Amino acid sequence: MAKILPTLVASLLVGILLSMPGHAEPVTITYMGWGNPQEKKISEDLLASFEKTHPHIKVRYIHTSDFESKLRTMMAGDIAPDVFYMPAESFEIYARKNTLLDLDPLIRETKFDVADFFPQVLKAFIYQGKHYGIPKDFTTQVMYYNKDLFDKAGVPYPTRDWTWSDMLSAARKMTLDFNNDGRIDQFGLQFSSGLVGVYGFSRQAGGDFFVTDEQGTPRKSTINSPEVLKALTFLRDLNFKDEVVLSSATGAGRDAQTEFSNGRLAMLLGYGRWLTPRFREMNKFRWDAAEMPREKERFSIIYTVAYSISAKTKHPKEAFELLSYLTGPVGQALNSDLGLAIPAIRSVAYSDHFINPKGDVDDRAFLRTIEYAEVIPRTPNPEEFNEICNPYWEQVLTLNTMQPADALKQMDPKVNAFLEKWRTLRSYPKVNWTLVLSILAVLLTIAVGVIVWFFRRSGPIGRLARQEERTGYMFIAPWILGVLLFGLFPIFTSLFLSLCEWDAITPLSNVRWLGFANYARAFTVEPKFWIALRVTAIYSIVSVPIGLVLSVAIAMLLNQKVKGIPLFRTLYYLPSLVGGVSVAVLWWRIFNRDFGLLNYALLRMGLYDLWNMKPIDWLGHETWALPAMIIMSLWGVGGGMLIYLAGLQGIPTQMYEAASIDGAGKITQFFKITLPMLSAVIFFNLIMGIIGSFQVFTQAFVMTSGGPNNATLFYVLYLFQKGFQQFEMGYASALAWVLFAIVLVLTAFVMKSSKSWVYYEGGKD
């Protein structure tokens, strides 16, 4: 006992020492953001500095390019980072779903100074009167302009009093065709198109898209107003009447920022501070930034990002320590030195960290716009709102296939229906999971009882047979569990969710029961459902037969016994092995209007001159986008060719010899011998082709994102947009089951029809 006592005392002392604060394990905080390599380096330096001054906290940094998809996936998996970037346009989605921590108690406890932040920027992250994010930085919309081009054209530099008319007059003077070949070489301007472009000009005209409540939440659409019509008409005329804008219609394949950097674009409107570092590297000409032109009112859009904390963080105080450091003067000053944005703290923004009196750009132009700049109103689902509006912006501003008044007239009821839908969704009851699980347990019990009865219906069995039966069940138990957990469970979960509303961000306890509303929405409310179905059906009807015919033709050519034929078989088969993204990038280059290989070949052959046509914008014109995808599908015919080749080599040569003796020619032999003997292979490839054609995704996602004007909105791409971009998992599940039903019906039809045309060795099936 005397020997044991000192050991116990020593152990106790060691335990006490290890439990003291100085020896406690540091808390690990996960931090996630995005940014270019320079911004990533600054974040790493900031975090290293923070860890030195806060030794009790360690930070695990996650840098990602696909930020929001990763964040939502991590939230769905209940492994959300503690501190993370929060874009203003998506903020309300997260705040409404209670995924963000209310920062007000920590702000009061730590006396964190929010008074020095720009109030317009801080307001963007307030929801129902509470702070759910602290701004990291921000930028406003400005106009970059080429001073040398202004001087050469004799046009005064932009001032604060510049109007739309002044901008148009200057743009006309600087839009030039140097060699009189009918193609504009230097453009007057380019503006940020889409939602931000139209919204910004609409506010300058005195209009707005919404009537909002006191929280800034849209309640009613005012998009079909004279002011918005004036703005949209002005932007359309810049493109197609005045032809002063570098756009896909006038300069396909020419990037606006690159054209500005190369001195072939006079004005770049509606862009933010993030372009300044890139332009500062240019030495070709003098340039500057000015405020956006005005009309009835001054207006500029604020782009901003905040730091937020997960509502489920286990270390809220430590997470707020990190957030306070990153958003404090030190963090904002370092980020400001990078030049990508404006510090959200006024004292830093008006210091030398942002304003460079010897610089080549008017930094104060960005600060002057803050007087009248605002964040775009937060909609319940920004991705869905853009999905409604973007096709109309595209038809008016890019394709010139719709009048502005018609576009706004059609948009207005859709926007109101969108707002009403999200208000209505909140009235649906939440799923009673106790009831659901109870019903599931009863059904499983019944199913097990039926199975047991089925196997025991032959009467009692002996002990040896029962032991063998148990052993058999034991061996197949892993397979049964695998099927239940990884097969049937996901299938029935998807089926159940198709009857619900769930965003995959919040727990399943927040799922709301809709019944068959998702299916009714697809068939009666969503026009894009029918567009996606039509696009996919046309693609399937055209590409599958062409692919089958070409595969058979190539297989017959490569079935000849000539020298070097294995090399040709390999060359034809290899393209089918190339990854989908690589193929999409390759064909994007081939289809490019200005320097694509396809247009080059057609020009060299003189076909465009023969047809009296301009080079086709294969992926930028709605008439040609889907045919381009069908042409691209032929890239993979080598895979089917190999299967047909195996089938051809399985046909007995004696059949052809006997047919030749009877006087049958090659064509007769093809239709009477080759096709019947290949019919089983054709049947297989036909079914696989139909299934594959209804699952087209990668090409459209990478090359066109479903455009132009939804011309390549394939069904699976539409499903992806709803499920993984807009996170309407319930509706996406319903779409998946509709797709399953369509493919099942088509497959059953082909199998039923096969009895009349598929032949096997034993005769007709």
CATH assignment of the domain containing 199 = 3.40.190.10
pLDDT at 19 over 70: no
Please name the residue that has the structure tokens 């430590």: 318
**CA torsion, ordered 575, 581, 585, 590, to nearest 10 deg:** 40
Residues 230 and 332 in one domain: no
Q: What percent of the chain has pLDDT over 90?
A: 50
Q: What is the pLDDT of residues 414-447, one digit of tens each?
A: 999 999 988 888 788 888 888 888 888 888 888 8
User: Mean pLDDT across the stretch 171-188?
Assistant: 88
Question: How far is residue 265 from each of residues 201, 251, 729, measured CA to CA in Å?
Answer: 20, 11, 43
In the prediction, which pLDDT does 25 show? 82
Residue length, the chain? 765
| Boundaries of domain holding 311 | 24-135+306-336
In the prediction, which pLDDT does 16 show? 47
User: Mean pLDDT across the stretch 465-475?
Assistant: 80
CA distance 402 to 382: 24
In the prediction, which pLDDT does 381 show? 85
Q: Find out whether 391 and 402 touch, Cβ atoms under 8 Å.
A: no
In the prediction, which pLDDT does 457 show? 67
CA distance 179 to 177: 6
Tokens of 80: 């959300």
Note the Cα 447 to chain centre separation in Å: 42
Q: How many domains does the chain have?
A: 4
Q: The domain that contains 732 carries what CATH number?
A: 1.10.3720.10
- Asked if residue 595 belongs to a domain, the reply is no
Coil, strand or helix: which one is 495? helix
- Asked if residue 480 belongs to a domain, the reply is yes
User: Mean pLDDT across the stretch 474-487?
Assistant: 85
CA distance 618 to 630: 11
**String of DSSP letters for 177-227:** -TT-SSS-SBEEEEE--HHHHHHHHHHHTT--SEEE-TTS-EEEE--SSHH
Give φ, ψ of 430 to 5 degrees: -75, 150
Residues 533 and 676 in one domain: yes
- Asked if residue 74 belongs to a domain, the reply is yes
In the prediction, which pLDDT does 247 show? 67
User: Mean pLDDT across the stretch 626-650?
Assistant: 91
Residues 474 and 528 in one domain: no
Residues 257 and 179 in one domain: yes
Q: How confident is the model at residue 18 (pLDDT cuts 50, 70, 90)?
A: very low
Residues 114 and 155 in one domain: no
Q: What is the pLDDT of residues 654-704, one digit of tens each?
A: 998 899 988 888 899 999 999 999 999 999 999 999 999 999 999 999 999
Q: Find out whether 535 and 625 touch, Cβ atoms under 8 Å.
A: no
In the prediction, which pLDDT does 460 show? 64
Nearest to 158 by CA among 396, 369, 381, 12: 369
CA 265-144-254 angle, to 5 degrees, is 35
Tokens of 164: 């739309």
Please name the residue that has the structure tokens 């859009």: 301
Residues 317 and 294 in one domain: no
Residues 541 and 415 in one domain: no
- Asked if residue 292 belongs to a domain, the reply is yes
Residues 297 and 163 in one domain: yes
Eight-state DSSP code of residue 156? P
Residues 383 and 319 in one domain: no
Residues 324 and 187 in one domain: no
- Asked if residue 3 belongs to a domain, the reply is no
What is the chain's mean pLDDT, rounded? Answer: 88
User: Mean pLDDT across the stretch 727-740?
Assistant: 94
What sign for the dihedral angle of Cα 224, 227, 229, 235? negative
Coil, strand or helix: which one is 344? coil
**String of DSSP letters for 582-618:** HHHHHHHHHH-TTT-HHHHHHHHTTHHHHHT-PPP-T
Q: Find out whether 382 and 394 touch, Cβ atoms under 8 Å.
A: no
pLDDT at 2 over 80: no
> At which of 399, 425, 451 does a domain end?
425
pLDDT at 8 over 50: no
- Asked if residue 179 belongs to a domain, the reply is yes
Range scoring the smallest mean pLDDT among 23-27, 231-235, 372-376, 699-703? 23-27
CA distance 71 to 85: 9
State the amino acid at position 243 in one-letter form.
E
Residues 270 and 418 in one domain: yes
Q: What is the pLDDT of residues 192-247, one digit of tens each?
A: 878 889 999 999 999 999 998 877 778 899 999 999 999 999 999 999 999 999 86
Q: What is the pLDDT of residues 585-594, one digit of tens each?
A: 899 889 988 7
Please name the residue that has the structure tokens 């032809």: 243
Q: State pTM to two decimals.
A: 0.78
Q: How confident is the model at residue 254 (pLDDT cuts 50, 70, 90)?
A: low
In the prediction, which pLDDT does 509 show? 80
Q: Which residues of 515-547 are buried (b: 16+ CB within 10 A; e: fewer)?
A: eebbbebbeeebebbebbbebbeebbebbbeeb
Residues 259 and 158 in one domain: yes
Q: Which residues contact 268 (CB under 8 A, 6 or more apart)?
A: 143, 144, 145, 189, 190, 256, 257, 260, 275
- Asked if residue 712 belongs to a domain, the reply is yes
Nearest to 129 by CA among 109, 107, 147, 155: 107
Q: What is the pLDDT of residues 259-317, one digit of tens each?
A: 998 899 999 999 999 888 888 888 889 999 999 999 999 999 999 999 999 999 999 99
Please name the residue that has the structure tokens 């086709």: 616
In a 13 Å sphere around the CA of 724, the CA atoms on its Cβ side amount to 13
- Asked if residue 732 belongs to a domain, the reply is yes
